[in-house]
Structure 1
């Protein structure tokens, strides 16, 4: 039996691949050996890319990959390779670009037919079983009888993709208040004022954009910006996309009103939204953002924590093959659970009706308005939580992704420090310790691990930058130097191995990683920030926190990186939310607050609570940290040193003086 005569996914470090280990398809993991096998057999490659929480990936698997007849066609005529897009985002990016170029749209499951050299010649997404079988036969016929046409088409596609993968040109305007105001105004023109969010259905949480808008509000005090942020924050948190019982957000809403979610819950969404809601809770008088931040943090700790102290990737969209089985309710179920009076009250509160908002007369819980009786609210939620926990539960993808855990570390450390939740900071530190022990191999990052066993896939730019940002947030929250040193080491590797020819531009993969038909370099922010915008944030923070020698180097690279983003802020600001986030901090300085103290001080609390987003805040004994060098106590009292770039205010020794300095 050859390697191609069996399913080789059983020893994968991806839960998604392991879900296919029992398929009759002779799936292979992506490797040079698998491509060599296609060359030896002179057959095309069938590449299937998906992820564990993907609903239609499961549907296609059940319809086609578990079907013996379909599997026989695949085994006879193709080398079939299965890829987890979350574990190999580089492969996903290249073939998604090809799919969009050839079909005009993309998505998962992604189904791509390749030459044995890995060049795509036919692309698609989900195919029903009958159509898929017909497609397999058609591709086989084309490969055997019209090979020249196939190879010519693949060569043309690859040539065009290589041509369009060049770096982003420099924009016309420098990073400054005028450009930022232009970007924000363009974003606000796209707001759905009536329902919150931007654009129409489906609606994804605009996590990066919201954080950037909060920082814009802190700079300008604009009521229009504040209102837009609050409308979206409220709409998302009150709709069905937010879990009204256990906290945490689903990946997106299928409708424009945020009512019906696509039920998968992703770590990256919830980490990014925790950061935003915690930040916004410090800038608004409404209570909802603080509650949502606390519940989302608890969701991370309760539902996504792994035994090793890191965070799992996702909860599946499906439960026992059905969406919503865990989460949806009918009025009768509420009264059965709570009794008649509380059941009727809860149905009104959570917008559950006999008509239903979901399938089969069931409703996803919403919270259109806050309850008038908070004690009753908590009692009802506790009862419903208990009953729901006895229902079948969605599967969990236990894969630990470096970048997404970096987002979680950043959010927990920043929110924990700002909202006085030391347990969140401790959780961030446990996660960081584990990542550094497991995911750093010979000084280089790996992308993911499973059950504390690290995979072979190398880390990409977003992994390096997101983890570095998290470590810098931990350094600020704890005053511990080892987090700063670890962040510097990671940043140095990223700068050395991901840099492109033009200063300030970056590839998404390291220079000695596997080379596909292009080397990915996507500067646009999507559901997660672009690797380059994450790197700009990490470099910006490191420049403010580190020694003088390193500061100048990091600051220069951060400035060059931001300078390459101006065209995105000019022309596509909705796809540059994290660039806006970083640019807002850059225009302010960024702000640096160093509190010199020999013990607890209210100045620390005020600095962490009131400093605008993107500020760096450290506290400790004089000279104990780079930012505290030559910043002593004043007349034996704690003192806060507030600086913008290279300009510093007089040290503040009172809360009133510090608040005035932060507001000036």
Structure 2
């Protein structure tokens, strides 16, 4: 029977409701608490038992009388005239688990929280808009921020005191001090809350300069800043903990393709080599951990987030296209194998994350227990190959305090043909261990990041199976979360939940455009372009603020409209929207193209001041001004798709010409038309078709459908010239430059 938490009085109706919600969890339900009755049932149940978020359910049996975020909690705080204590985290957050076990599952702490505050739990992944408000408040007040994010709020949601993780003894002191100040120093608290609220509003609403475009100096400044940040010894952009910083890598690769900037490519190369080799890479199972706690990428913080998989897979794909480095293609493909094997639901959509913590052999929850490989255990499993594998993977040298993490030496020659079957044996054996908790939310935007990565890699690697997986995931997301006018944020507990955010619509829109390009080459049919256009229309209707900027959420938060001020672990939705709107504009969506121009103007001021804060927006600005730079592109308003295929040192151009259109052959046979040509490489164009078109007055030599053109002796960059025509009109001639410069052997 559900027991009321300490210092709480409940109505019989609420008690009955919570008991029914507990019973509905089913006979296999395992409450996450050490406070259990002799029969194994939880001693306490709170309102979070009615929620679908895995993070909130983790706290459903704390003695803390948690409320989910919402009007009910605010009304309770106003009615009791007490502050809200807000704890923000997510299901796979290690330090959230630590504070849960030390404090939130502690009856002494709970008694104070319940008596003096209205405790509220918020899943940051379900509500990134609210998380943006409160992580910004903590950053501004404390000078640093992270999760768990701990805040004390006025009943209307305005923060007045902030912090992150607190050990139990310190947390008790802070709770007592805040409660005392609420009673004795209310005017000062109101004043502090007002100052924080105003600072948060200013942080998000940074204005622009009104300029219609960014000067080259802005992009140069961003590249120079990243060069100064670059750790030349170990790669990455830090002298301490190492995060992948995927948006930095994608910006540097884009800059190399556009400018031939060798330093930009060198920084990306050093960093991708380090990530592919380091302990941040799960060598046994594929995929990547979120970050490392050391400078040389070897000691990971073991949680695995879907958004890292999608972004890093894209970076490795683009890096492989630039260099032909086989270890990078291998890293991307093993990441896809991990996601499709371990992070995919029955309908094909992708789960959100896997925890850092898992149970060790003794049943204790430890960070990384699932992933560690003591050398003796690996040798016993691998037999005659055990010594070589253990030495190759560095298992004889425990990494930091966590133990033996598999890693390679960056840049070292590795016999992957010999190593990979051994890694598969380690992975299969690892399945007998206790797996980390998997957060099975399906988040629309994070799925968009992964779908885009799969679709783009499918075209780059010429792998239709990856495109099919991307299309299946997109259909699963669309059927569950699109209501005809807007996306929901996520799927959990068998239902769509929370309003979709800007980032959900943007990242799914870019995923749909990637699928449209994949369909042109690999036949994964679907209304991909139409869906991208629908998402673009939703963005302009629901997220535009009327002044050129895009809000994170369609609805205002407690402090007013919510904006992002920079890219973070994922690109800001507003930053990525610039690329989506620019690409939709190039396909003929005039409203999207105009909105992209307004957005550049609205954010250009801050981008000039500190351009490295918005590297994703810098990529979008270049797309708006000059089109994409990647080796896979849609040209001439969607009438032609082009890709450059790398096969070792050989290259091949492929065109996919839309039905009803043709491309004029090198010698069209009629003056005034531009024939297909390639500058900078020999081109073995196939025999064209000869067609009679009324407007031309004579037979024309043309290409239709799919055309493959082997290239010989390509230079660092080539320029493709073509002119697409229908039976009644011709579009303007196209000249598209592709940079191929970095050779497979250049390091």
Tell me if both proteins adopt one fold, taking TM over 0.5 as the criterion. yes
CA contact 1:210–1:577 (8 Å) conserved in 2: no
2:265 to 226, 234, 239: 226
- The structure with the greater share of residues assigned to helix is 1
Counterpart residue number, 1:346: 389
Matching residue of 2:514: 473
* 1:370 Cα offset (Å): 5.1
CA contact (8 A) 1:266 1:315 kept: yes
Choose the corresponding residue for 1:635, options 670, 693, 701.
Answer: 701
Structure holding more strand per residue: 2
Map residues 167-566 of structure 1 onto 2, 5 A cutoff: 167-170=206-209, 174-320=213-359, 321-339=365-383, 341-353=384-396, 355-359=397-401, 361-368=403-410, 373-441=415-483, 443-455=485-497, 457-479=498-520, 480=525, 482-503=527-548, 505-510=549-554, 513-545=555-587, 548=588, 550=589, 552-566=590-604
Measure the CA separation in 2 of the matches of 1:428 and 1:360: 35
Q: How many angstroms apart in 2 are the aligned matches of 1:562 and 1:328?
A: 47
Deviation of 1:561 after TM superposition, in Å, equals: 1.8
Structure 2 residues without counterparts, runs of 5 or longer: 1-9, 16-44, 360-364, 663-673, 676-687, 690-699, 708-718, 726-733, 741-747
Structure 1: give runs of 5+ residues left out of the alignment. 625-629, 642-646
Q: State which of 715, 718, 721 in structure 2 corresponds to 1:649.
A: 721
In the TM superposition, residue 569 of structure 1 has moved relative to its aligned partner by 4.3
Say whether the 8 Å CA contact 1:195–1:256 is kept in structure 2. yes
Secondary structure of 1:526 counterpart? coil
Q: Call closer, same or farther: CA 1:360–1:213 in 2, change over 3 Å.
A: closer
Answer yes or no: is the 8 Å Cα contact 1:439–1:447 preserved in 2. Answer: yes
Q: 1:378 to 1:590 in 2, by over 3 A?
A: closer
Structure 2 matches for 1:21-60, cutoff 5 A? 21-60=60-99
1:489-512 deviations in Å (ceiling 9; x for gaps)? 111111122112422x222111xx
The TM-score normalised by the length of structure 1 is: 0.88
Question: Which structure: larger Rg?
Answer: 2
Q: Deviations over 1:239-285 (max 9, x none)?
A: 11011111111111111111111111110011011111111111103
Question: Offset of 1:431 from its aligned partner?
Answer: 1.5
Distance 1:281 1:29 in 2: 45
1:218 Cα deviation from its structure 2 partner: 0.9
Change (3 A) 1:171 1:284: farther
Q: Partner of 2:660 in structure 1?
A: 622
CA contact (8 A) 2:211 2:601 kept: no
Q: Secondary structure at the match of 2:121?
A: strand
Deviations 1:346-402 (A, max 9, x none): 12211122x511326533433545555444212321221122221221111111111
Match of 1:570 in 2: 608
Note the aligned Cα RMSD (angstroms).
3.3
In 2, the alpha carbon distance for the partners of 1:184 and 1:543 equals 27
Shift of 1:309: 1.5
The higher relative CO (CA closer than 8 Å, separation ≥ 6) is in 1
Partner-residue secondary structure (3-state), 1:195:
coil
Query: For residues 391 and 96 of structure 2, what CA distance do their matches in structure 1 show?
Result: 36
Shift of 1:137: 2.1
Work out whether residues 399 and 405 of structure 2, in 8 Å CA contact, stay in contact via their aligned partners in 1.
Answer: yes
